[in-house]
Chain A
Amino acid sequence: MNIVVCIKQVPDTAEVKINPETNTLIRDGVPSIINPFDLHAIEAALQIKEKDGGKVIVITMGPPQAENALRDALSMGADDAVLLTDRAFAGSDTWATSYTLSRAVKKIGADIIICGKQAIDGDTAQVGPEMAEFLNIPHVAYVKKVEDIKADFLRVQRMMDSGYDIVESTFPVLLTVVKEINEPRLPSLKGKMAAKKAVIKKWTSSDIGADEDKIGLKGSPTQVKNIFAPQAKTDRKMLNGTPEEQVEALIQELRSLKCLS
């Protein structure tokens, strides 16, 4: 069984600051990490492999330094890694990214594809499901548990606002996972040593037979007009009178703001 995990290298948001004048992220000196949800995706893949066998292949699309994210994944125990890197990929929105990744998945051949539910930088949660559409395969988003893997289907729990659904799907299938699914392992020394030596495959657009009009900025229908940090609104009103009067005034206020009916 081939399990492909799609990961993204993102800036460590714990350390990100916004330039108040340009409203853009200050990326200088900010360390890059594997998107935290993707760590859960890697862990889920490794657990499936440990229980049911198979091979875990990690892929990412990004600049050459995204190789570090792949090495981190290898040090956790992934078997193989592919970096999709090409100037032509630059400026991809979720649509173009999904297309590009799906081409690579097609080339590798996968029974299960696992993604984190979303990336902490863009927060769109679109790439996983869009990939499934490009591949024309079923997907289950927000998976919180893999219940069972049989020869020709799997059963998972999909997290909902109240409780969860039990979903079965044939292979190949794409899953996006939430952090509740597992506790990602730390790397091992043997894993780190192997990862340091590993040769990471690098594929360009021609390696995956991508249609030039569907990748990068050219293949991206999304146009970002403006990015800004919303102004923090701090409005405060003090209520006076007895507690009863204050409660009454508060209810009136909430009603006028249509917070209460």
Chain B
Amino acid sequence: MDYFLTEDQLMIKELTRQIAEEKVIPARHELDEKEEFPWEIMKVLAQSDLFSLFIPEEYGGLGRGCLELCIAVEELSRACLGVSTSYAANALGTSPILLYGSDEQKKKYLPDIAAGKRLVAFALTEANAGSDAGGIQTTARLEGNEYVVNGTKQWITNGGEAEIYTIIAITDRAKGARGASAFIVEKGTPHFSFGKKEKKMGIRASATRELIFDNCRIPKDNILGKEGMGFIVAMKTLDNSRTGVGAQGVGVAQGAFEEAVKFARQRVQFGHPIISFQAVQHMLADMAIDIEAARALVYSVARYIDSGAKEISKESAIAKVFATDLAMRVTTNAVQVMGGSGYMREYPVEKMMRDAKILQIYEGTNQIQRNVIGQALIKEAAKGK
């Protein structure tokens, strides 16, 4: 379907498709098997200016919006979710700086991020704080001109590989949700170390590690926004990034769908290619319906965000839930269409199915997304909208 993308947007799509075809698809199987971080591909993405997409022009970027990022993420996800997660997590980590960074902080960090010289990670989750961000234990205590950070962040995407970390820590526990603050911490800061690399079910090319802060001192100026704004920073960051997770869902579903169609045309049973059987056709048709609906939704929400809309929690949650639930369904059915072959690691769809599962979990589980949507509905109803 034609989504009336501009020439620039088509160019972004074409270039990321080319990178996906030439660099990602040939490498994805081995990256998954070896659980290896895709540095080679990150370098190609940097050289192709893809890290600069969402950075404003005054800081060395291309100044494009949510839709452009979604297009790039979708194309990479069509090839490998592990790679696209590493790329998208960089945008997630950069978001707090874009949204709440001072001009000085932006000048210091954004040009390097735009050039792909330094990778970024966002760190909110802890052992006892995920969906419930109120359970954060990590603290940041002001001492003179420094904050002293203590605590452990868990399951941090790009952890260990990234050089810049945007983290949420408690500065005043007595204030509850208003007692959290956001900070920038650079890799190499003394008393900031990494835990072991986690072994995951899918997206195994992406790196997931603990961040360990043990009396780690960071300059006072590394705070993002003001003390007490941590939850707002986190929530606005997630509002902004969720649509991108939806784009990941569209991409991986598209990739699995294409594999299933290709296979169904070649696989002969009872003397006919299995695609000639109505049972298979209906499965493929359902996939096509799902994918097109999700893409239309993700692009619409991205355009809504790019229009400068302020209240985007509900819309971005809707896009995330819809596109990622379908990604699980489509990748599972792609394996089903391909039968025994689909289950084998020789074909890419079992990996896509393993990879797709994370989309229903990270950046807010789909159950939490439904809470977000539900709360927005209550608010709207109360306002008599």
Contact = CB atoms under 8 A, between A and B. Distances in A.
Given A186-B18, A186-B19, A186-B22, A193 B11 contact: yes
Nearest to B14: A192
A125 to B, nearest CB: 26
A206 B276 CA distance: 60
A216 to B, nearest CB: 35
B7 A189 contact: no
Given A186-B18, A186-B19, A186-B22, A192 B11 contact: yes
B7 A196 contact: yes
Interface in B287-327: none
A192 B48 CA distance: 9
A136 interface: no
B120 to A, nearest CB: 19
B223 interface: no
B49 A188 contact: yes
**Taking each of B15, B18, B19, B53, which has the highest tally of chain A beta carbons within 10 Å of its own beta carbon?**
B15
A188 B50 CA distance: 8
Contact of A192 (B15, B22, B47): B15
B250 interface: no
Interface in A167-209: 185-193, 196
B62 interface: yes
B8 interface: yes
Nearest to A77: B47
A190 B18 CA distance: 16
B12 interface: yes
Contacts of B23: 186
Contacts of A191: 49
Contacts of A192: 11, 15
B27 to A, nearest CB: 13
Determine the main DSSP class of A at the interface with B. helix
B8 A187 contact: no
B369 interface: no
B62 A189 contact: yes
Most buried by A among B19, B23, B49, B53: B49
Nearest to B48: A188
Interface string B260-299: 0000000000000000000000000000000000000000
Given A190-B62, A193-B8, A193-B11, A185 B49 contact: no
B211 to A, nearest CB: 31
Interface string A106-142: 0000000000000000000000000000000000000
B235 interface: no
A188 B14 CA distance: 11
A196 B15 contact: no
B44 A186 contact: yes
A43 to B, nearest CB: 12
B90 interface: no
Nearest to A195: B11
Interface string B135-172: 00000000000000000000000000000000000000
Interface in B36-61: 44, 47-50, 52-53
B62 A186 contact: no
A196 B15 CA distance: 14
Given A196-B7, A196-B11, A189 B22 contact: no
Contacts of B49: 188-191
Nearest to B68: A189
Contacts of A189: 11-12, 15, 48-50, 52-53, 62
B91 to A, nearest CB: 15
Nearest to A185: B47
Nearest to A192: B11
A56 B44 CA distance: 21
A230 to B, nearest CB: 30
Contacts of B19: 186
A192 B50 CA distance: 12
Nearest to B49: A189
A217 to B, nearest CB: 37
Nearest to B72: A189
A192 B12 CA distance: 9
Nearest to B50: A189
A243 B114 CA distance: 67
A185 B18 CA distance: 12
B47 A186 contact: yes
A190 B52 CA distance: 10
A106 B274 CA distance: 61
A186 B50 CA distance: 12
A191 B15 CA distance: 11
Given A187-B15, A188-B47, A196-B7, 8 more contacts: A186-B47, A188-B49, A189-B15, A189-B48, A189-B49, A189-B62, A193-B8, A196-B11
What 10 A-B pairs come out closest when comparing CB atoms?
A189-B49, A188-B49, A188-B48, A190-B49, A192-B11, A186-B48, A186-B19, A185-B47, A186-B18, A189-B15
8 contacts: A186-B47, A187-B15, A188-B49, A189-B11, A189-B15, A189-B48, A190-B49, A193-B8
